[in-house]
Structure 1
């Protein structure tokens, strides 16, 4: 059976964070197709029209519709119930972390100031869910 290219939705309103997240995914051995949207409304629109995402990487602090509301909507849609959501956030608030996990997120990654720490944490969490990051092209 041929390997199918996986598809990941990145939802982040800060272009640099979205680009760094995309770079982590591109460093994976089997790099997925990446779609980036910049607010919660766009995310819900994309998820409503396209049902082929293998993972959603979701920021919490989003314009229009925040990440908590997006997560709530994802959890309410049976056709998205199998798609793991990994929350990416700069919040250090433990209550937010617990709330997202209780709402159905599979993991939570803090946006670290240090790119290598962020890359290592995100790679490990994606691999935990069988996504693209079991081996990296490089260790940089």
Structure 2
């Protein structure tokens, strides 16, 4: 299984913590702090097994980014896990409605994240 993950988060501390955790589990990590940059990276490299998408970012939020990913034929199949501090049931549904494959709330439970990554297509 390809274990290349793109982390998209406007907070470098979140990226740093996730990178350390996932690298220790054998994942290759790329990261960026802007949604548009993530879309550009995916368009250049479609070898990612998952995208961890922060939903609350400036300029373009995760909801809009996921919708663009889903509408772009070359990257529409890449699995996206929504990552958000919004933890209400309706927030989870909003993420799934936008096209996320799964949803994880912050602070991230590493075991939950690894389970989510393992059940991706």
1:55 aligns with 2:50: yes
Distance 1:39 1:107 in 2: 20
TM-score with structure 1 setting the length: 0.78
User: What runs of 5+ residues in structure 2 fail to find an aligned partner?
Assistant: none
TM-score with structure 2 setting the length: 0.89
Count of residues in correspondence between the two structures: 121
Report which structure shows greater RCO (CA 8 Å, sep ≥6).
1
Of 98, 101, 108 in structure 2, the residue corresponding to residue 106 of structure 1 is 101
Asked whether the equivalents of residues 58 and 87 of structure 1 are also in contact (C-alpha less than 8 Å), the reply is yes
Q: Which residue of 1 aligns with 2:87?
A: 92
Q: Which runs of 4+ in 1 moved over 3 A?
A: none
User: What runs of 5+ residues in structure 1 fail to find an aligned partner?
Assistant: 131-140
Distance 2:119 2:64 in 1: 25
Q: Which residue of 2 aligns with 1:127?
A: 118
Distance 1:96 1:82 in 2: 22
Bigger CA radius of gyration: 1
Q: Which residue of 1 aligns with 2:11?
A: 14
Asked whether the equivalents of residues 7 and 15 of structure 2 are also in contact (C-alpha less than 8 Å), the reply is yes
Distance 1:64 1:52 in 2: 26
Asked whether the equivalents of residues 3 and 27 of structure 2 are also in contact (C-alpha less than 8 Å), the reply is yes
Asked whether the equivalents of residues 24 and 123 of structure 1 are also in contact (C-alpha less than 8 Å), the reply is no
